[in-house]
Amino acid sequence: MKKILNPDSIVDDMIDGYVAAYGDYVAKAKNPRVVTRATPKVEGKVGIVIGNGCGHEPIAMGWVGQGMLDANAVGDIFAAPPADLILEAIREADNGAGVLLLISRHAGDVINGEMAVELARMERLNVEPLLMYDDISSAPKGKEEDRRGAAGTTFIYKIVGAKAEEGATLSELKTLGERVRDNTRTLAAAVAPGISPLTGKPMFTLPEDEIYLGMGVHGEPGLKSIKMTTAKDIVSEMMDALLEDLPFKSGDEVLTFVNGMGSTTLMELLIIHKEVDGILKKRGIKAFKPLAGEYITTQEMAGFSISLCRADDELKRLWDAPVSVPFFHR
């Protein structure tokens, strides 16, 4: 492994560096594993919180700020933070109007998140969990609630975050988040593994001439491996599966997000987006303010995901609403 780090303090060093660089946006809370907004709290605003294992930067701490998250509990590398740490983030984000805890559906995140909700309620904090899942490769159609969280959760962070700034209530935000989730679908493809900074080893193996369809955000193997092929062919196969799953129909408007997983070049991501856009046009589906870039990564993993969210006027407006965080640009 050739990673530039101090092996005994990787996560703390990263947070220190982040806060030192972007101190005009973010700050460290009393607990140094909780990142909050640097700006004073807004009275009466519902707090938006997530806890996540790190190693996926820029999410989630890169999205703390105006229009997205209020606080982020940063766990160890690829390990959900313990419940008591998530509880600290909930306390930091609480400003009298309650807290929406986003939980990307993975075993550790769900267990610790649900425990944190129980602990918070014991303290009489008003907190609601929102389970996020979108990866169509992880459970069949009809079992959507068994699916894992992937890059399509981005639509929830952004849309719910924007609505919270407008003063929506906790229950309104939860309902809105569920609506975004239920209209979102994601499928990923992996080209090469990332290396875990903990073990120094590649997180999976994949023959040089193959790509995996349906790879999860931690390098969990997916649906099937296929022979390496062109962007046109791979995107076409993925879009067929995605469009059929919701299903997305002619006349729909969609938000689109092509996410890179760490070492896929912007050149490739834009080529992938071009293919996505062409297929949508052919099917009579209109893309609204597309997003492409590396946001939810798995170290230097090569690969990408395509996420689609069917959007009405309200979702479109909130997707396009102002946001001011260090690492979200559209």
- Nearest approach in angstroms of CB 217 to another protein is 10
Q: Which of 106, 218, 273, 329 is catalytic?
A: 218
Which of 13, 166 has the CB closer to another protein?
13
Min dist CB 156 to another protein, Å, is 22
Q: Which is nearer to another protein, 31 or 66 (CB)?
A: 31
Measure the CA–CA gap between 35 and 71, rounded to whole angstroms: 6
Cβ burial, residue 24 (10 Å; 0-12/13-18/19+):
exposed
Cβ closer to another protein: 115 or 170?
115
Decide whether 117 or 292 has the Cβ nearer to another protein.
117
Residue 106 known to be catalytic: no
**Least CB distance to another protein at residue 193 (A):** 10
Tell me which residues touch another protein (CB under 8 A).
53, 75-85, 106-108, 111-112, 114-115, 137-138, 148, 196, 198-199, 201, 203-204, 214, 216, 218-222
Q: Nearest distance from residue 173's CB to another protein, in Å? A: 26
Active site residue 273: no
What does the alpha-carbon distance between residue 12 and residue 77 come to, in Å, rounded to a whole number? 11
Pairing between strand 127-132 and 99-104? parallel
- The answer to whether residues 79 and 107 touch, using CB atoms and an 8 Å cutoff, is no
Point out the residues that are catalytic: 56, 218
